Chain A
Amino acid sequence: MRKYISPFICGFGAGVLQVVPVAKSLACCFIVPLAAFLSLYLELKANPSSEQIQLKKGLIFGLLTGLFAALFGSFFDIFITLITKNNDIVATFPELQKMINGFPLSEELKNEVLRLFNNVRREILQYGFSPLYTVSVIINNLVINSIFGMIGGLVGVQAINSKLKNQN
Chain B
Amino acid sequence: MFIKLQINKLSLLYRIFITLLIFLFVASIFFEIVIHTIPQAAYLFPFVKKGFSLICHQNDEKIISLFGFHSLVCARCTGIYLGMFLISIYTMIRPIIKTAGYKLFIIFTAPMIADVIFVNMKLYHYSKISAIITGLLFGSILFVYLYNGLNLLIIENRIRH
Interface residues of A (CB under 8 A from B): 18, 24-25, 28-29, 32, 54-56, 58-59, 73, 88-89, 96, 99-100, 103-106, 109-110, 113, 116-117, 136-137, 140-141, 143-145, 148, 151, 154-155, 157-159, 162-163
Contact = CB atoms under 8 A, between A and B. Distances in A.
B50 interface: yes
A29 B56 contact: yes
B102 interface: yes
B10 to A, nearest CB: 14
Interface of B: 32, 35-36, 39-40, 42-43, 45-47, 49-51, 53-57, 59, 74, 76-77, 80, 99, 101-102, 105, 142, 145-146, 148-150, 152-153, 156-157
Contacts of A143: 51
Nearest to B81: A29
A56 B55 contact: no
B149 A157 contact: yes
A4 B156 CA distance: 21
Contacts of A155: 142, 145-146, 149
B53 A88 contact: yes
Nearest to B84: A151
| Complex A-B, nearest 8 residue pairs according to Cβ-Cβ distance, in ascending order | A154-B149, A29-B55, A25-B57, A140-B51, A55-B153, A162-B102, A136-B47, A155-B145
A24 B57 contact: yes
Nearest to A143: B51
A104 B36 contact: yes
Contacts of A140: 47, 50-51, 54
